[in-house]
Amino acid sequence: MDDANAIKTRVDGLLSGSADRRSGFGLAQRKAALVRLGETILAYRDEIARAVGTDLGKPAVEADLVEVLPVLAEIAHRGRHLRRWMRPRRVMPTLMTLGTSAALYPQPKGVALIIAPWNFPFLLALSPVVSAIAAGNAVAVKPSELTPATSALIARLLPQALPGLVEVFEGGQDVSQALLAQPFDHIFFTGSPGVGKIVMAAAARNLTPVTLELGGKSPVVLGEDADLARAARWIAWGKVVNAGQICVAPDHVYIPERLMGPLAAAIRAEWQGMAAGGTTAIVNDRHYARLNALLADASAKGAQVEALGPDRPELRHMAARLLTGTTAEMAISSEEIFGPLLPLIPYRDLAEPISAINAGPKPLTIYAFGGADLVARLRAETSSGSLGVNLTIMPFIHQNLPFGGIGIRAWVRRMAGWALTASAT
């Protein structure tokens, strides 16, 4: 691990190259860098899947599908659209400026710091790297210390693919904080809201702009007219993929009272067909204990918990669970669950879930299952980063949609090429 001085020296090396990159890192060089990155990832493909498997107990096929392929797709997408994104855009004169001309010229910011979480340890470190490089920046990357095999591989792979453009810093909070003290041009943080506040406070000392990709509770609302089979399929899958450790996993479900039984039965059936609890482990003992504490607290306060299979604590595999009878006093009702536990909450009038949602922080995503009236009411009466209709998770992987929340949840328009800034001439 580097000490603070070594970190500063390496970051200074990246910062000192900014002026040269502004003039010499054009379309052709950026495309070539992206191609090199893609080729290196392909060469390491099996090793990446193995490293993620070691860290998260995930089968190689799944790791490849959810960690490697999306990065390759993102590289292809950025490469395809880069020429258009880099083009200057003419701006029409206004009444006061008639007779002058103006244009917007995209320009790289300089050096971006990327701090990544553990839940998709390769994808969430690499995806912002792709955007930053496409936009002409250099990057410092701090992978999560909770997924050490993937972190070590990223530290080997990235400098090979992007020499001079990237530095990888392995380690935990102390490394992260030493990095945050440096005068980066942009900080891109993915993680929990608590650490997001620390990141933003540190960034304020250097007036560094920040993109925060945070977590939270993403509720599901079923309408009276929901297609139950479809809802059960999407909810069951969305909750067990990656063992529920996804920032946009469906957190809890609001259901018309009379549909509680049928929906629970349909979700149960789905989970039975897909190895309830999924195949991914809970990342570490602390999080395994955290989830068990949420269950114990809910049970002690009167919730009913139904496990859909056996746990395998030695592998930190946790079976999916349905919870009913949860109340606002239970920790599971206010904390982000981030695991395969699914509270089902009955309602009589749609106003109830709407006011419950509006009483908490704005969700990253709300999932609606039902017809146009339900969607129209949720769109008009709630506020969230996205609104998924009759599906889960998908808005997150749609390359042409911006991704992010509102307020403290997350501030980002990453998919639009967040690091392309404009200057007027």
Q: 373 has which bridge partners? A: none
Q: How far is the CA of 286 from the CAs of 93, 269, 376, in angstroms?
A: 58, 30, 41
Catalytic residue (one of 247, 257, 335, 352): 247
Minimum distance, C-beta of residue 176 to ligand NAD, in the bound complex (Å): 3
Q: Does 128 interact with ligand NAD (rule: CB under 6 A)? A: no
Amino acid identity, position 215: G
Total site size for ligand NAD, rule CB under 6 A: 26
Q: Does 384 interact with ligand NAD (rule: CB under 6 A)? A: no
The Cβ-side half-sphere exposure at 197, using a 13 Å CA radius, reads 2
Q: How far is the CA of 152 from the CAs of 52, 129, 203, 347, in angstroms?
A: 11, 16, 26, 48
Q: Considering the complex, state which of residue 18 and residue 192 has its C-beta at the smaller distance from ligand NAD.
A: 192
Q: Considering the complex, state which of residue 118 and residue 288 has its C-beta at the smaller distance from ligand NAD.
A: 118
H/E run at residue 399: none
Q: Contact with ligand NAD (CB under 6 A): which of 54, 69, 145, 148?
A: 145
Tokens of 411: 């501030």
Q: Does 124 interact with ligand NAD (rule: CB under 6 A)? A: yes
> Residue 417: helix, strand or coil by DSSP?
coil
> Is 213 among the catalytic positions?
yes
Q: What is the DSSP letter of 362?
A: P
Catalytic residue (one of 74, 167, 213, 336): 213
| Contact range with ligand NAD by CB under 6 A, out of 53-61, 100-108, 111-119, 340-348 | 111-119
In angstroms, the CA 80 to CA 28 distance is 12
Minimum distance, C-beta of residue 248 to ligand NAD, in the bound complex (Å): 7
Q: How far is the CA of 386 from the CAs of 57, 381, 417, in angstroms?
A: 30, 13, 18
Contacts with ligand NAD, 198-237, as mask; x by CB under 6 A: x--------------xxx----------------------
CB contact set of 75 (below 8 Å; sequence gap of 6+): 34, 35, 37, 38, 41, 130
Angle made by CA atoms 269, 280, 53, in degrees to the nearest 5: 145
Q: Does 141 interact with ligand NAD (rule: CB under 6 A)? A: no
Q: Which of residues 397-416 bind ligand NAD (CB under 6 A)?
A: 410
- DSSP per residue over 154-195, as a string? HHHHHHHHSTTTEEE---SHHHHHHHHTS--SEEEEEE-HHH
Minimum distance, C-beta of residue 259 to ligand NAD, in the bound complex (Å): 28
In angstroms, the CA 379 to CA 374 distance is 9
Q: Considering the complex, state which of residue 51 and residue 263 has its C-beta at the smaller distance from ligand NAD.
A: 51
Minimum distance, C-beta of residue 205 to ligand NAD, in the bound complex (Å): 13
> Is 247 among the catalytic positions?
yes
Q: Considering the complex, state which of residue 208 and residue 226 has its C-beta at the smaller distance from ligand NAD.
A: 208
In angstroms, the CA 363 to CA 405 distance is 7
H/E run at residue 230: helix 228-240
Q: Contact with ligand NAD (CB under 6 A): which of 127, 322, 336, 363?
A: 336
Contacts with ligand NAD, 351-380, as mask; x by CB under 6 A: -------------x----------------
Minimum distance, C-beta of residue 147 to ligand NAD, in the bound complex (Å): 9
Contact of 157 with 40, CB cutoff 8 Å:
yes
Where are any strands of DSSP class E within 31-71?
none
Minimum distance, C-beta of residue 397 to ligand NAD, in the bound complex (Å): 11
Q: Does 144 interact with ligand NAD (rule: CB under 6 A)? A: yes
Q: Does 115 interact with ligand NAD (rule: CB under 6 A)? A: yes
Q: Contact with ligand NAD (CB under 6 A): which of 75, 134, 231, 247?
A: 247
The Cβ-side half-sphere exposure at 103, using a 13 Å CA radius, reads 8
Contacts with ligand NAD, 153-192, as mask; x by CB under 6 A: -------------------xx--xx------------xxx
Q: Considering the complex, state which of residue 21 and residue 217 has its C-beta at the smaller distance from ligand NAD.
A: 217
Minimum distance, C-beta of residue 201 to ligand NAD, in the bound complex (Å): 10
Residue nearest to ligand NAD (CB): 215
In angstroms, the CA 160 to CA 166 distance is 9
Q: Considering the complex, state which of residue 118 and residue 367 has its C-beta at the smaller distance from ligand NAD.
A: 118
> Contact residues for ligand NAD (CB under 6 A)?
115-119, 124, 142, 144-145, 172-173, 176-177, 190-192, 195, 198, 213-215, 247, 336, 338, 364, 410
- Would you name the residues annotated as active-site residues? 213, 247
